[in-house]
Structure 1
């Protein structure tokens, strides 16, 4: 029994090292030591259940819960984006590999280790290739702001041109406001806000070029916010 326990612990240690080296090379929050400790610890808990003859399934469930708290510690929110989810998932999988080693299922444990490594290496490159592809097929939306400075007497005409252009283009018209500009002669700034897919940005540039040709317009500019995923 002692020898079998040692083999199981060594197997969990080796699988943890294999997964942890990949994480350490990428300088992740949970690196070589953390991943190895999670796999080895999961193996120890399950092995304890087998040595005492208690329910291994129940102990494995406790291991999953404990690793869940550990994984939550590596997930961070940074300027609206979530960081560390992949590291937390790797910790979770490392615990599963440790449980398999602790119960003596070496083949499934090795297979699980290979799957984790493939997910963090091969699929990483696939994800990068997808992310670098054109965004025309992605469900994304970007907010644009178009500003036109014109003569006060041309306000009605400019607003009409903007409204017609926005409704005829693939743009989601949000608002249209006007405010007086300081200085002489009297000028007015008309601001239009809209939302659209980034692939339709060229249409907004066409509208800006069209407005810049109006006689009463002195300046035209537009800006865009960061693209966001559309809600499902």
Structure 2
């Protein structure tokens, strides 16, 4: 390799790769523990890949550093990592009805790529500090958020019910009896098929405020056996 700023020892290269494995793996463990699509190995691969590209961008072309017509730009390949990591993040985001999930996982993939770039550039303090902040956010802030904001979380249910006089009111009273607050209710007749309309069926969208998971499980059990409810879908509002 060349001399000066463009030179790096094999020992230093190995340290940076191992550090990127550790940083990406720590973040990936939390995602694996939460049973997300992108987990332990995916985060390691993203972080190591970003580190390798950063190392390549800085030191991979050192033999051309002394050429008169060559201008070294260590940030060029790194910039492509930042923009290119988006396709992995998009693959982790899924939409199911009213629900969008995977945003936190997509963000964690993006940030481990940034951590990998920092490690590859030898920006150790920032890479370690960022890893700590990410783990603090995913582990501790996640628990704090669930504890203090669970009351504000909304659950959405889509039901196909028998549209007879008093049936819908009875379903609403059942929810309120279980401590569930009906925030919003929309009757959607357009989505019902002709056969459903002839059988007096209707689709109803509920937006509910539920305090905890036990209350939700109890409500779902009762709705599943209710004679006026033909089918329903539970759509959790804010999965990470």
Q: Give me the TM-score of the superposition, normalised by structure 1.
A: 0.57
- 5+ long unaligned stretches in structure 2: 30-39, 96-100, 190-195
CA distance in 2, matches of 1:173, 1:146: 13
How far off is 1:193 after superposition?
1.2
What is aligned with 2:21?
A: 20
State the secondary structure of the residue aligned to 1:170.
strand
Matches within 5 A, 1:208-219: 219=227
- Aligned residues between the structures: 195
State the secondary structure of the residue aligned to 1:143.
strand
What is aligned with 1:137?
A: 152
Matches within 5 A, 1:90-169: 90-99=112-121, 101=122, 109-130=123-144, 132-133=146-147, 135-138=150-153, 140-145=154-159, 147-148=161-162, 155-156=164-165, 158=166, 161=169
What is aligned with 2:232?
A: 223
CA distance in 2, matches of 1:129, 1:65: 34
- Tell which structure's C-alpha radius of gyration is larger: 1
State the secondary structure of the residue aligned to 2:161.
strand
CA distance in 1, matches of 2:76, 2:232: 52
What is aligned with 2:193?
A: none
How far off is 1:200 after superposition?
7.2
Structure 1 residues 164, 3: closer, same or farther in 2, change over 3 A?
closer
CA distance in 2, matches of 1:21, 1:164: 51
Query: 2:16–2:119: 8 Å Cα contact kept in structure 1?
Result: yes
CA distance in 1, matches of 2:131, 2:168: 59
Structure 1 residues 114-135: Cα deviation after superposition (integer angstroms, max 9, x where no partner): 1232134333212441464362
Matches within 5 A, 1:43-62: 43-44=58-59, 59-62=73-76
Structure 1 residues 145-204: Cα deviation after superposition (integer angstroms, max 9, x where no partner): 26348xxxxx44x268469969x96331211768555xxxxxxx554613223417979x
How far off is 1:45 after superposition?
6.2
CA distance in 1, matches of 2:144, 2:64: 44
CA distance in 2, matches of 1:164, 1:131: 29
Return the match for 2:109 from 87, 90, 96: 87
Structure 1 residues 148, 45: closer, same or farther in 2, change over 3 A?
same
CA distance in 2, matches of 1:125, 1:51: 48
